[in-house]
Every structure is written in structure tokens, then in C-alpha cells.
A and B are shown apart, each in its own frame.
Chain A
Amino acid sequence: AQSVSQHNHHVILSEAASLELGCNYSYGGTVNLFWYVQYPGQHLQLLLKYFSGDPLVKGIKGFEAEFIKSKFSFNLRKPSVQWSDTAEYFCAVNALISNFGNEKLTFGTGTRLTIIP
């Protein structure tokens, strides 16, 4: 079974600091990768996703993530964070196990990000 690891449970940064949140997955085949974000009081929403092509994908609000197949990683980055980036971030993986795909997402445990003004 596929699994997703987010080793940073809670990250605290000052505004303008650079951010990198780790995400590693266990499945060795073809994968679709997602980052979702849950801002305080808001719905969980898509930040960015990768399923083919350029392994460096850009999302909303200046976030980007790089798919490194050899490292089974899909880390999320932002060069300069803002107070409004305070949220919980979830990495998710969909592994293509059969010709018809595996339609289930497996989520990581989440990383709570707190930005200090």
C-alpha cells in the first residue's frame, strides 16, 4: 500500500523567510502528486499538482514543488513567506497501480505552518 510521510509536524517561521516542507511517498511506480492547503476557517483547497511533464510545478500564491523521482519526494517551497500563509499543508499521492488507475488519494499527516509577523 502506498504511504505518504510529512516529517515536519509544525513549522514556525518569520515573515520573508524561505520555506521548504518535505513530502516523501513509498510507491515506486507512476504517481500523481498534490499539495492541498487548509487556511484557518476555510475549506481544504488545492495548492498545486503534478502528473506529468516538467517536474517543477507552480501553484497559487507563489508556491512551487519539485518532483524528484529518485528521491520519492515532492517538497513544497516558497522563497518568501507571508503571514497569510499560516495554514495546514497536506501532501497527497495517487499511485497508478493498474491500467485503470487508482482513484484513491493517500494523504500525509499534514504540516502546520505558523508565520510570525
Chain B
Amino acid sequence: DGGITQSPKYLFRKEGQNVTLSCEQNLNHDAMYWYRQDPGQGLRLIYYSQIVNDFQKGDIAEGYSVSREKKESFPLTVTSAQKNPTAFYLCASGEELRGTDTQYFGPGTRLTVL
């Protein structure tokens, strides 16, 4: 089955801890994205990547970091510098970084900071 997987589905962390969210795709897509979804705010772009070893900040990158060492993987680290990390995180991919492209989304990870 082709698609995007995110793990874990639910994640709890204590304040002050870094945590890494996994995102893997087997669609052979070049572009990958991380979004944050909060109630009443829609989706906001955190980071995106056009190609391996290249990534760009989105609209709300502060307190987050990413890497793109492999085409199929785009992990997101939520650092202790992120002031309000409790949210639903969505990973997406697209064939290319092109404005007309459809983005394909994973099932999401719900992060709760205790």
C-alpha cells in the first residue's frame, strides 16, 4: 500500500523535553511538509522540503527542527523552545514543490505536553 505513515499516533512528553515525530512516505514524492493543526486555526506550515538535504522554514518554524537525510523520511523534532507544543501534527508529501500539486496527508500525531 502506498501512503504516508506517522508515528506514534499519540505522544506525551514532559515540559522541557525534546521529542521527535516520525514521517515516512513510499510514494516516491520529492516534496514533504509538516503542519500543525489547532482547533479553530486550520493548518499552519512548520517546515517543508523540496529534496533530500534541503528544507525551508514555514510560517511557524520557531521551536521546531527537521532533517531530510532520505527521500522517504522527514522527521520533526519539537524542542523545549516551542512555547505551546500541544497540538495535532500532520505530515504531507507531494510529487514536486509546485503550486498545482496535490498534497497527500498522513494520519497525524497528537502531541500532549504534561
Please report A residues at the B interface, Cβ cutoff 8 Å: 4, 6, 9, 32, 34, 36, 43-46, 49, 51, 90, 92, 94, 96, 101-105, 107-110
Interchain nearest-CB distance for B85 vs A (Å): 20
Interface residue from B40, B97, B104, B105 paired with A103 (Cβ < 8 Å): B97
Q: Bound complex: CA of A105 vs CA of B98, how far in Å?
A: 10
Q: Bound complex: CA of A98 vs CA of B100, how far in Å?
A: 14
Nearest-CB residue, chain A, relative to B4: A43
The verdict on B41 contacting chain A, using a C-beta distance below 8 Å, is: yes
Q: What mask results when residues 68 to 112 of chain B are scored 1 for a CB within 8 Å of chain A, else 0?
A: 000000000000000000000010100001111011111110000
Nearest-CB residue, chain A, relative to B43: A107
Nearest-CB residue, chain B, relative to A102: B99
A32 proximity list for chain B (CB < 8 A): 99-100
Is the Cβ of A43 less than 8 Å from the Cβ of B43? no
Within 8 A of A (CB), among B25-45: 31, 35, 40-45
B40 proximity list for chain A (CB < 8 A): 9, 109
Is the Cβ of B50 less than 8 Å from the Cβ of A103? yes
B43 proximity list for chain A (CB < 8 A): 44, 90, 92, 107
Is the Cβ of B42 less than 8 Å from the Cβ of A103? no
Interchain nearest-CB distance for B56 vs A (Å): 9
Nearest-CB residue, chain B, relative to A93: B99
Is the Cβ of B42 less than 8 Å from the Cβ of A101? no
The verdict on B63 contacting chain A, using a C-beta distance below 8 Å, is: no
Q: Bound complex: CA of A49 vs CA of B94, how far in Å?
A: 14
Is the Cβ of B106 less than 8 Å from the Cβ of A43? yes
Q: Bound complex: CA of A36 vs CA of B37, how far in Å?
A: 14
Q: Bound complex: CA of A51 vs CA of B43, how far in Å?
A: 21
Q: Bound complex: CA of A36 vs CA of B65, how far in Å?
A: 26
Q: Bound complex: CA of A44 vs CA of B50, how far in Å?
A: 21
